[in-house]
Amino acid sequence: MEDSGYSILRNPGTNKGTAFTLEERKKYGLEGLLPDQIETMETQILRVNEQLDSFETPINKYIYLTALLDTNETLFFKTVISNPAKFLPLVYTPTVGEACQRLGHITRRPRGLFISIEQKDNIETILRNWPVKDVRFTVVSDGGRILGLGDLGICGMGIPIGKLVLYTSCAGVPPEYTLPIILDVGTNNETFLNDPLYPGLKRKRIGGQEFDEFIETFVVAINKVFPKICIQWEDFAGKDAIRILDRYHDKVCTFNDDMQGTAAIATAGIITASRFSGTPFNTQKILFLGAGAAAFGIADMLVYKFQKDGLDRKEALKHVWMFDVNGLLVKSRNDLADYQKPFAHESEPSDDFAKSILKIKPTAIIGVSTVGGAFNQQVIENMCAVNLRPLIFPYSNPTSHSECTAEQAYTWSKGKAIFASGSPFAPVTIEGQTFTSGQGNNVYIFPAIGLAIFATEANRVTNEIFVTAAEAVAEQVTEENFAKGLIYPLIDNIQEVSYNVAVKVAEKIFESGLAGIKKPTDIRTFIKNKMYEPKYR
């Protein structure tokens, strides 16, 4: 600890607040700086909950919890872990969406690193300004496509901060190894450009070669300054996201959670549904509403899983269909991006999603369109007409952009739907039966993968790793869970789930020759010993 008692209290990493012992108070000169009463962490959490519950709106609760993270890091993580179902929606989705929209107005203390296009030639120096010299994880965004809210520019910083909070809260990645970064390349959000409290560059967003060169300079610099870094790309606009991942996934340790994390959790849900319905995974047929980066990421991983389960690529592609603003992706269309073309079929054009269901007969529909209410009653009823237990996955965030609600899916399907959404919904009771809706939250995937990468010092992140994670998540769903409507494990058990996933992923990393260390004899103990536990030291 630092010498000065006052500075110890002001450092979120060393502050224990009222939990400092008498000996520590004397040793560090804290006497008189705190009330005499020495409290346990449990008492402190009781106070946090009481204060938090006095706020009515989620955004004010978010502001309070952010202030706690800035003042007492250990207490913050212990609080979040104490009740994940309560706190995860407050520190991340859906509340983080509003937090990003209002960041310039609610921020108290800057957190992470801000790197603008105007500092392109100074990136290495900026990275070295960070006080920790061995950073292992960075979540990076340019604010181009925050959740379903569009271009939020530098206000998208709430996403990297929130994601890294989940690394620690859900999988025990030590917080000192994490670094949130926002790349400020301008914004096309006119509201922000005219807002005196917008903290970013007041200029239109850059693109093209200038953007790509900026990303290249950043990637080179961060790998030089932090040689064991893993870069998680987050909320870049679709084409940028696909291009960046395609360019760097074989060169450095990197992944895109919007594409690969979302893909893995969607795949896990379909694996679970297949397992309990007794239908082989490779007989599933999936229809997407939305054909952007998220859809492409999920589709690509589903094809990989179909191939793993015995289909050749040509056959696997027949099991994946997409529908976008211009209708069904068919080969006769001339407006398709290169990444969309493999998923275009020899079929008649259609601009009616509900009718396309009757024709294609998908077993699952996945919404990544950000169009709230797009899965209307006709869509759900048509899915029931071609399936005994249709899979309904409205994955768009935040809640207002969800393609349907849990209540709508269960009501319109008369309780037949197997449902999972991107944002949380309350349990629904239909004719006396209560369904606990599943949340297809990437939180089951990326923190666990992060823990495995941290432990093994992996140098690459492959699709095989994400499929392994998806299978490991699905394994942990019990018959009792499924009977209640769940296709993912309970969020209350997130740390245990993440631990089990991390073990399987670490085994795959060693097996694939991607690890930077020698394989330990006991992987479970090895992983457990790497996990951060929020306790006062």
Q: Enumerate the domain spans of the chain.
A: 5-91, 103-252, 260-440, 444-517
- The full DSSP string for 489-534 is --GGGHHHHHHHHHHHHHHHHHHTT--SSPPPS-HHHHHHHHS---
How far is residue 179 from each of residues 116, 153, 266, measured CA to CA in Å? 16, 18, 27
Q: Which of 253, 247, 255 is nearest to 223 (CA)?
A: 253
Active-site residue flag, 499: no
Q: Which CATH architecture has domain 103-252?
A: 3-Layer(aba) Sandwich (3.40)
Has residue 267 got a pLDDT over 60? yes
pLDDT reported for residue 412: 97
How far apart CA 194 and CA 200 sit, in angstroms, is: 11
Please name which of 420, 401, 400, 398 lies closest in space to residue 410, comparing C-alpha atoms.
420
Residue 3: pLDDT band (50, 70, 90) is: low
- Position of tokens 């969309």? 340
Give the helix/strand (H/E) hosting 82. helix 73-82
Is 70 exceeded by the pLDDT of residue 125?
yes
What stretch of H or E contains 418?
strand 418-421
Entry field: residues in the chain: 537
Query: Is 410 among the catalytic positions?
Result: no
CATH no. of 5-91:
1.20.1370.30
Instruction: Select which of 62, 92, 248, 444 is catalytic.
Output: 92
Side chain identity at 254, as an amino acid letter?
Answer: T
pTM: 0.92
Helix (H, G, I), strand (E, B) or coil at 308: helix
- Give the pair of three-digit tokens for residue 436: 């606990």
- In this prediction, residue 161 has a pLDDT band, given cuts at 50, 70 and 90, of very high
> Within its chain, how far is the Cα of 530 from the centroid?
22
In angstroms, the CA 450 to CA 525 distance is 17
Q: Whole-angstrom Cα distance, residue 193 to residue 196? A: 8
Residue 314 DSSP SS3: helix
**Could you give phi then psi for residue 330, rounded to 5 degrees?**
-125, 160
pLDDT tens-digit readout, 30-82: 999 999 999 999 999 999 999 999 999 999 999 999 999 999 999 999 999 99
Taking residues 484-512, what's their average pLDDT? Answer: 94
Q: In Å, what is the CA distance from 509 to each residue of 265, 456, 519? A: 19, 7, 10
Alpha-carbon dihedral sign for residues 455, 460, 464, 469: positive
Please give the C-alpha separations between residue 358 and each of 375, 378, 438, in angstroms, as whole numbers.
Answer: 14, 11, 25
- The Cα–Cα gap between 90 and 86 comes to 7
Mean pLDDT on 291-297: 89
* CATH topology identical between 5-91 and 103-252: no
User: Contact at 8 Å (CB) between 357 and 365?
Assistant: yes
Q: Which of 163, 305, 504, 530 is catalytic?
A: 163
CATH for the stretch 260-440: 3.40.50.720
